[in-house]
Structure 1
Amino acid sequence: MKIERNRALILMAFGVGAGLLSGMFGLGGGIIIIPGLMFALKMDQRLAHGTSLGGVFLISCASFVTYWTHDEIDWRVVLWLSIGSVSGSLIGAKLLSIVSKKTLTVSFIAVLVIAGVRMFFEIDASGVMIIDALTVVWLIVIGVAVGAIAGMLGIGGGLM
């Protein structure tokens, strides 16, 4: 695929924006990458969502290392969320090929709006998380749901 110079610069700008959002807010960057691919490359929406996950993966890995070096990861939560999110992402990837483009667009916009509204509300995170059996079940369920949405929409789970 040949990319003209102006489009390459636009894609680089979207990439930098995605990286900044990831580093500052823990977002995977798909909210920037998908519109960038569709706008700059005129990429098909489904292909943009799938392609975005490759970028999100690399951005997430880079951010993950930084959070890890600052000891800002709760490994207990990672374990249980991962169990659910891996299976959820497989469901989401399958849904990507099934749902209509309109449903995909509306779902993408809905997740962005909900995430944006949620940012206005402060969450009390001052307590210590106790990992009991009920918490484990909830973390797995949340992982499945977030994984499915992230897998279908091509965005990182941190947004949710």
Structure 2
Amino acid sequence: MEWIFLVLLGVIAAMFGSIVGLGGGIIIVPVLMLLGPVITGEVIGHAEAVGISLTVLVVTALASTLSYAKRKIVDFRSGWLFFITSGPAALLGSALTGQFPAGLFQLVFGVFMLAMAALLIARDYMKPFTKEWPIVRTMTDTSGEVHTFSYGIVPALAIGFGVGLISGLFGIGGGSLFVPLMVLLFRFPPHMATATSMFVIFLSSILGSGMHAYLGDTNWLLVLALAPGAWIGGKLGAAIAVRMSGKGLLWLLRVTLLLLAVQLIIEGFGTF
């Protein structure tokens, strides 16, 4: 029964993650921490949950990136630029995860999820930045639609660093921060921002998960249980994302984030 639950968790988390560029860790990490005793019979610590999530994230992000690439909506050139800083930052974040006391980690993670839920709500009402950046990109997707957007190297590298640090620290994709900033600051088309975000997440999660594996934070049995669902969910999420606005699923994700955040904050305060 536990294996079935883990496979379904992988599918649901990866599907949501692929649609909005999160990667699924925002669901996997708190669920493992909260339901660890039910799933495995013992508590799953925050460092172990993050290590598992980042390793599964490699599978999710790869599945999503391959699906998005077929539709020609992944901007690989921009993605490699973001990765210049997101990769090292993911290593740094992964190394710092175990330094947090368990209660403080739950509290900070809960507050972070509240902020991400607020950002996901606010992005529907925020207008894109009108500044013309020096690097202009033009791409044509498989439907023949031409997309033009621009960005600056310094802000792109700064955003990449922030996303990588969050990804390594919390075991999530960072797309909840990445995608809105790409859309609002650089005027990326939403679907292209999500697709490019998943490519950067794939690269960063390889480094982050490698650091956690080196530190002994990875439960490979749980990774094997979650990975098949993550692959399926990553493919499904990418297919759904290009066919719908995703507003209904976004609201479901927002409510899920709020509920998990409140639970983590309550548990975090309870340890003080």
Which TM class, normalised by the smaller chain length?
0.7 to 0.9
**Matched ranges for 1:81-100 at <5 A:** 81-100=82-101
Q: TM-score, normalised by structure 1?
A: 0.85
Higher mean C-alpha deviation, range 88-97 or range 107-116? 107-116
Distance, in Å, in 2 between the alignment partners of 1:23 and 1:156 is 10
Bigger radius of gyration among the two: 2
1:83 and 1:93 map into 2 onto residues whose CA distance is 17
Give TM-score, length-normalised by structure 2.
0.52
Deviation digits for residues 67-115 of structure 1 (CA, Å, limit 9, x no counterpart): 1111222233212210010010011011112122223212221221111
Cα RMSD between the aligned structures? Answer: 2.2
- Of 8, 24, 27, 1:13 maps to 8
Gaps of 5+ in 2: 137-150, 178-272
1:11-53 CA distance string (max 9 Å, x none)? 1221111121123222211012113323133322210111110
| Partner residue in 2 for 1:24 | 19
Q: Is the 8 A contact 2:97 2:169 kept in 1?
A: yes
Q: 1:78 — aligned with what?
A: 79
Distance 2:69 2:167 in 1: 22
Which residue of the other structure, out of 131, 134, 140, is the alignment partner of 2:135?
131
1:68 has 2:63 as partner: no
Identity %: 28
Aligned length: 154
- Matching of residue 159 in structure 1 with residue 164 in structure 2: no
1:52-63 to structure 2, matched below 5 A, reads 52-63=53-64
Q: Which has the higher contact order (CA 8 A, sep 6+)?
A: 2
**Structure 1: which 5+ runs fail to align?**
1-5
- Higher strand proportion: 2
Q: Which moved more, 1:115-124 or 1:50-59?
A: 115-124
SS in 1 for 2:9: helix
Say whether the 8 Å CA contact 2:23–2:57 is kept in structure 1.
yes
Indicate the larger mover: 91-100 or 122-131: 122-131
